[in-house]
Amino acid sequence: MTMQNTVDESAALAALFDLVSMGFAYPSQDLYRALTDGRYTEAAESNVALLGNPAPLVEVLKPLAAGLNTLADDCTHRRLETEYIALFEHGRDEAPLHLNAHLYMEGMPDPVPVYRDLQKIYCEFAVELNTEKATESPDHLAVELEFVAYLFDLLQLTLGGERKDSVERIQHGLTAFFDELDWVGNFVDALEQRSVHPFYLPLGNFLCTLIKVSGTFSRTLTPASASLEKQKGS
């Protein structure tokens, strides 16, 4: 793998995590348009292609693309909003599947220490949540995925020489945060038991595979990054 390939793949992973983060956010009118006019599918497919079309991602992308087609054909914006609220915020007949990490961790820990630990990780990379506006909690899935996207973006800028940072530091941050995302598997299992939603269920399955593929990618960076930093220092 060449250094340019590594840079490009880091950028693709940043874009994919950003897409999934947006997918699990509240469906605004702008997001609904992107989901139903083909832009979301095109972005997902093009970035998976930049990764070399790894078979596991290609397989889970197929039902996601099909689900997006179903949204475009059969689902209005108002209906998608209603379904999102029923699934993730205010369940009708059952408790909603809130998109917060502490609810799916072993023992369902007190959220305050979880928030504190996450804030510490975010601050280590100079990321601060906007507390002046009504934002999601630090352990909300969309927030956590946006942070992973930021780390991969930081990685590709560092590898490309556009930003001075330590590749090993970013790699360590990614490894630690993928451990934090262990809860996603429990969430997707619960989602699968609750719903056959044409978009959110395949999006969850796509995310689980993306985390696995990304973890493998980040663990293979060390030799190339060491070589790059040696070149920068010479």
pLDDT at position 108 is: 72
| Higher pLDDT among residues 34 and 217, named by residue | 34
pLDDT at position 99 is: 94
Separation of alpha carbons 83 and 108, rounded Å: 25
Tell me the mean pLDDT in the region 51-58.
96
Q: Which residue has the tokens 């917060």?
A: 100
- CATH, domain 3-233, list 1.10.3480.10, 3.30.43.10, 2.60.40.10, 2.40.50.140: 1.10.3480.10
Q: What is the mean pLDDT of the chain?
A: 88
pLDDT at position 210 is: 97
Judge whether 62 and 70 are in contact, CB under 8 Å: no
Task: Pull the structure tokens for residue 109.
Answer: 């820990």
**Does the pLDDT at position 47 exceed 80?**
yes
Judge whether 48 and 16 are in contact, CB under 8 Å: yes
pLDDT digits (tens, 9 = 90+) for 113-172: 888 889 899 999 988 876 555 467 899 999 999 999 999 999 999 988 888 888 889 998
Of 52, 58, 44, nearest to 8 by C-alpha is: 52
Which of 32-46, 79-93, 174-188 has the highest average model confidence (pLDDT)? 32-46
**Does the pLDDT at position 219 exceed 60?**
yes
Q: For the chain, give the percent of residues with pLDDT over 90.
A: 64
Of 183, 170, 186, 154, nearest to 121 by C-alpha is: 170
Judge whether 58 and 148 are in contact, CB under 8 Å: no
* 173 CB-near residues (< 8 Å, 6+ apart): 121, 124, 125, 151
**Does the pLDDT at position 187 exceed 50?**
yes
- pLDDT grade for 1, boundaries at 50, 70 and 90: low
pLDDT at position 234 is: 42
**Does the pLDDT at position 224 exceed 60?**
no
Domain boundaries, the chain: 3-233
pLDDT digits (tens, 9 = 90+) for 64-92: 999 999 999 999 999 999 999 999 988 66
Tell me the mean pLDDT in the region 214-226.
70
Separation of alpha carbons 69 and 212, rounded Å: 26
pLDDT at position 4 is: 76
